[in-house]
Amino acid sequence: MFTVDPAGNSDEILIEAILGLGEPLVSRNLSPNAYSVSRQELKLVRRGLVTQPRLLTRNGNRSGSREILIPKSRQNMQKLSDKQAIALAEMGLRLENHYGRPQDVEWAVVGDRLNILQSRPITTTQAPYASPNEGLETLNALVSGASASPGIGPEQFG
């Protein structure tokens, strides 16, 4: 979930969801359902559902994970209910308020319970928020000298 849509719509929270473990979403091996929630009214404004033919799950008692096929009758299902999407958006806004800047939040559903796994500042937003360097002072170098490996410049390939 992005508490500000990284594509630039600062009025909406973007939530992406797949069934199973999140690795295929992060690696972009699966396309997610996408939910947009209004930041002001906390109402669902858009829902984009996609077909999900497979999911990644824990490998039982063994370590690692395994991929399984989803029955055709469930491949087009809504991954989150509208109520869950709004509840996640509320959690996201609380995290943003706590940390003082838009957040990229990893979450999971276990049973009926929404769980926050991780929250960090959004690094790809185009919204006009404070610079991460705002308020930092310029420091003077303590030492100087040549680097251990100055690298190869273009002049050496001429």
Q: Alpha-carbon distance 140 to 105, whole Å?
A: 36
In order along its 158 residues, the chain shows pLDDT tens digits of: 999 988 877 899 999 999 999 888 888 888 999 999 999 999 999 999 999 999 999 887 788 889 999 999 999 999 999 999 999 999 999 999 999 999 999 999 999 899 999 999 998 755 444 444 444 455 555 555 555 544 444 444 44
Separation in Å, CA 3 to CA 51, 85, 145, 150: 25, 12, 44, 41
Q: Alpha-carbon distance 137 to 9, whole Å?
A: 31
pTM as predicted: 0.74
Q: Alpha-carbon distance 132 to 123, whole Å?
A: 9
**If you search the block for the tokens 């303590």, which residue do you land on?**
142
Alpha helices in the chain (DSSP H): 23-26, 82-99
